[in-house]
Every structure is written in structure tokens, then in C-alpha cells.
Amino acid sequence: MTVRRMNAMALLTGISLILFVIEMQVPPPLPVPGVKLGLANVVTVYAVCRFRPGEALMILLARIFLAAVFAGQAASLLYSLTGGLFCLAGMFCLKRFLSPSRLWLCSLIGAVLHNTGQLTAASLLIGTDSVFAYFPLLALTGAAAGLFTGLLAQQMLRRRLYVSREGMG
């Protein structure tokens, strides 16, 4: 891994943390526990397209760990970690079958997988499957948030590709 690549990864991790902190200051879009826009995930979706799986994983893990530290919510670490790993694994599998113009779809499915991972962690911690009754609502709101973050990441990717074609990046 080159120094330039590591710098890009560090910069993206920082951007995702800034987005996380900004989102913490904004009231949730719906008064439902666990529902949020997930702006920091724009960086994760972008990283899936621009970096190798191990590199994207490093960005995700650094963001999840540091976000838990910044938020002072160590309990959320397990939920975020499980959801993030489900999401990242699913998006890398889908990436092989979808073109970059379908990044929004990859993100949408990744968001639903994120919710699945979070509920799986909750089920294992609580010891009951009753938390999965919450899945339809989380899947619906997660799909909407995933669509939004996917479209943003797709715009980032388009602009980056455009700059590269012009020989400036």
C-alpha cells in the first residue's frame, strides 16, 4: 500500500467521522429508535468502489471504533460493528454483479443488511428472536437511507472519475 493510498484512506475516515458528528447534532428524521440517515456510510459505499476489500474494511473499522469513542456509546460498538460487517460483506459481493452506475442499489441492499446485522447482534445479546419483529420498519427506513447515501456516493464516484479523465486527479 502506498503512502498516497494510506493518506486517502485516512482522509476518508476523517470525513466519515465528521459526517457522523454532524449527524449526531441533527434530530432523527423519524421518532423511531435506531432510525437515522447514516451519512457516514456515504464514505463506506464510496470506499467499496475505490478501494480493495481490506482497505475498505480498515476505513469502516476505524470509523466505527472512533465514532463509538466520540459518541461515548461503547454499547453501540457491537451493533455498529455487526451491522457494518454485514453491510460491507454484502456490498462487496454485489459489486461483482453490479456496474458502478448501480451503486445506489448496492447501497440500498447494504443498508438492509446493516439492519439485519444490528438485529442479529441484539438477538444474540438479549437471547430472543423477538427483536426481528422490528425488521420491516428498519428495512423500509434503511432502504430509503441506503438509497440516499448510495446516490450521494455515486455522485462522488462520478466526480472523481470525471476529474481523473481530465488528468487532474
- Give per-residue pLDDT as tens, 31-71: 777 778 889 999 999 999 889 999 999 999 999 999 998 88
* Residue 129 pLDDT grade (very low, low, confident, very high; cuts 50, 70, 90): confident
Q: Which three cell numbers stand for residue 89?
A: 460483506
Q: What is the DSSP letter of 102?
A: G
| Euclidean distance between CA atoms 59 and 56, whole angstroms | 5
| Euclidean distance between CA atoms 110 and 94, whole angstroms | 9
Residue 121 confidence (pLDDT): 92
pTM: 0.86
Residue 168 has pLDDT above 90, yes or no: no
| Euclidean distance between CA atoms 63 and 136, whole angstroms | 27
Phi and psi angles of residue 167, each rounded to the nearest 5 degrees, phi first: 80, 15
Segment 66-106, tens digit of pLDDT: 999 888 777 789 999 999 999 999 999 998 888 878 889 99
Residue 115 has pLDDT above 50, yes or no: yes
* Residue 127 pLDDT grade (very low, low, confident, very high; cuts 50, 70, 90): confident
CB 35 within 8 A of CB 58: no
What's CA 136's distance to the chain center, in Å? 19
Residue 19 has pLDDT above 50, yes or no: yes
Residues 6 or more apart in contact with residue 57 via CB below 8 angstroms: 88
The CA-based angle 77-78-84, given to 5 degrees, is 85
Residue 163 has pLDDT above 70, yes or no: no
| Euclidean distance between CA atoms 31 and 140, whole angstroms | 14
* Residue 28 pLDDT grade (very low, low, confident, very high; cuts 50, 70, 90): confident
User: Quick count: other Cβ atoms within 10 Å of Cβ 78?
Assistant: 16
| Euclidean distance between CA atoms 84 and 60, whole angstroms | 7
